[in-house]
Structure 1
Amino acid sequence: MQHRLRALASLALLIGATSAIAQTNPGSASTKNTRPAAANDKIAPDAAIDRANAYLNSAASLVADFVQVGADGRRSEGKLYVRRPGRLRFEYAQPATLEIVADGTSVSIRDRKLATNDMYFISQTPLKFLLKERIDLRRDVKILNVRETKTGVVITIEDKATFGGTSLIKLIFDPKTFALKQWHVTDPQGYETLVSLFNVDLTQTPDSSLFKINNERMLNPN
């Protein structure tokens, strides 16, 4: 169960990340030729939060590849589909066996290998604020810290889910373009996860059928 909860907590950040990455380079999760801002150009915390909100709200749908690296160094990858508000789908590539689908109300975490399917309301998960029609970090989460480092602007937030406890999330933005470069999630057990997006496409609107929780497949997982 815990590995599925960690997957859900860390992958939640992919949703909000996509629009920020796509603003500078829709085909890549990295930003080329960036440099830290000069000391007298450092962004104020309130301005950083405003820009983060603007990017997180700038796209309602996307298709992207994702790569996840867990605390044990294991690498998983797959395809992400999002249609806000409320809908997403993570398809893990083999040998991973997870599939996560949100249909607007519920979230299904299906493990083909274990033949399990765990169901939650979106409001019970870390996805709740990132799947809203309108995201507001000041309103939706507790902002612990905003600081600028040599590599970017780091916004640290605290997310209190109904189950599982509290997760700490660090969003790292480019100081000039404010493209989201990477993010780290520390779950309630202290496990850390790194997530990256690639080949982000905001021109596609994923078909509604991708977000249907298939009850027949729950009963016949293979």
Structure 2
Amino acid sequence: MPLRSSPFVLLARLGSFGAVAVAASLAFAAPPTPTPSPSPAATASPKAPMVMQNAGVKPGGLAPAQREALSAINRYFNSVRTMSGAFVQFGPDGETADGEFHMARPGKIRFIYAKPSNLDIVADGIDVVVRDIKNQTKDLYPLGKTPLRFLLADQIDLTSEANVTKVSLEPDLISVVLEQNTVFGDGKLTMVFDRKSSELRQWTVTDAQGYDTTVAVYNVTPNQPVDEKLFKIDRTIIR
């Protein structure tokens, strides 16, 4: 998997916590130069991203059903302080990667990629570091300038978040789109929740060039102790 199509589109299918809206996968930069591939077919399986078809509305014009659904998501999402589980990441070229993740709100998350990927991503509440183990490089980005800030906030309120631009209701799913200017340029974060349980199922980060990175999480355990050492960043060796 190319280094630059890493997550931050992380947060895809949060098992009990949803099982990304993490790391929400965040595409840090556009991939080499491929033409964006078409969206994968919709599916509820953790092996492929889901696709929402309906157009949404801005928060100011929320219908009662939309506001009720978002309020339920707020209550559930804010009740989860930590979580650990597995993730599958889908890049803009069709490449995939997987591994495990650990999260502690506010602000902390760690993505540990399985081989053959050489990526390791950690947010410590202030910054996000992307490490390439093979090439022994590290890149640091301000957490507040990445899509992860929505997923890792201490509290969220999707009914009043100014960056929410669309809310779409399906029989089984709810899709929420947030847009913001990030260190990587204008971007969009799409989070998909289970309509019945309000659990996060998937998130997709779309960069300024229209490339999508999707993360789905599963086998998630919420509100259990997480080792704080997982989120430690050594700033003395960051280039």
Which of the five TM-score ranges fits, normalised by the shorter chain?
0.7 to 0.9
**Secondary structure of the equivalent of 1:49?**
helix
Instruction: Quickly say closer, same or farther: Cα 1:195–1:131, change in 2 above 3 A.
Output: same
- Ranges in structure 2 where 5+ consecutive residues have no aligned partner: 20-43, 47-62
**Secondary structure of the equivalent of 1:113?**
coil
Structure 2 residue 202 is matched with structure 1 residue 182: yes
Structure 2 residue 79 is matched with structure 1 residue 58: yes
The question of whether the paired residues in 1 share the 8 Å contact of 2:108 and 2:122 is answered with yes
1:24-59 alpha-carbon deviations (Å, 9 max, x no partner): xxxxx969xxxxxxxxxx971211221222222121
- Ranges in structure 1 where 5+ consecutive residues have no aligned partner: 23-28, 32-41
Instruction: Quickly say closer, same or farther: Cα 1:173–1:104, change in 2 above 3 A.
Output: closer
Structure 2 residue 168 is matched with structure 1 residue 147: yes
Q: Which moved more, 1:139-148 or 1:191-200?
A: 139-148
Instruction: Quickly say closer, same or farther: Cα 1:123–1:183, change in 2 above 3 A.
Output: closer
Structure 2 residue 18 is matched with structure 1 residue 21: yes
Q: TM-score, normalized by length of structure 1? A: 0.76
Instruction: Quickly say closer, same or farther: Cα 1:132–1:75, change in 2 above 3 A.
Output: same
Paired residue total = 198
1:164 aligned residue: 184
The one-letter code matched in structure 2 to 1:146 is: V
The question of whether the paired residues in 1 share the 8 Å contact of 2:16 and 2:221 is answered with no
The question of whether the paired residues in 2 share the 8 Å contact of 1:19 and 1:55 is answered with no
2:93 aligned residue: 72
Distance in 2, Cα, partners of 1:176 & 1:104: 31
Distance in 1, Cα, partners of 2:223 & 2:196: 25
2:66 aligned residue: 45
Instruction: Let me know the Cα RMSD of the aligned residues.
Output: 2.9
Residue 140 of structure 1, CA deviation: 4.5
1:34 aligned residue: none
Structure 2 residue 203 is matched with structure 1 residue 206: no
Structure 2 residue 215 is matched with structure 1 residue 192: no
Residue 138 of structure 1, CA deviation: 4.4
Q: Which moved more, 1:89-98 or 1:180-189?
A: 180-189
The question of whether the paired residues in 2 share the 8 Å contact of 1:126 and 1:160 is answered with no
Instruction: Quickly say closer, same or farther: Cα 1:175–1:166, change in 2 above 3 A.
Output: same
**Secondary structure of the equivalent of 1:78?**
strand
Instruction: Quickly say closer, same or farther: Cα 1:104–1:157, change in 2 above 3 A.
Output: closer
Distance in 2, Cα, partners of 1:141 & 1:93: 36
The question of whether the paired residues in 2 share the 8 Å contact of 1:9 and 1:187 is answered with no
Residue 19 of structure 1, CA deviation: 5.0
Structure 2 residue 95 is matched with structure 1 residue 98: no
Which structure has the larger Rg over C-alpha atoms? 1
Identity across aligned pairs (percent)?
38
Q: Which moved more, 1:64-73 or 1:44-53?
A: 44-53
Could you say which structure has the higher helix fraction?
1
Instruction: Quickly say closer, same or farther: Cα 1:43–1:184, change in 2 above 3 A.
Output: farther
Instruction: Quickly say closer, same or farther: Cα 1:183–1:119, change in 2 above 3 A.
Output: closer
**Over 3 Å off, 4+ runs:** 16-20, 138-141, 214-219
Distance in 1, Cα, partners of 2:67 & 2:191: 15
Q: TM-score, normalized by length of structure 2? A: 0.71
1:90-109 alpha-carbon deviations (Å, 9 max, x no partner): 11111111111112222211
Q: Which moved more, 1:117-126 or 1:179-188?
A: 179-188
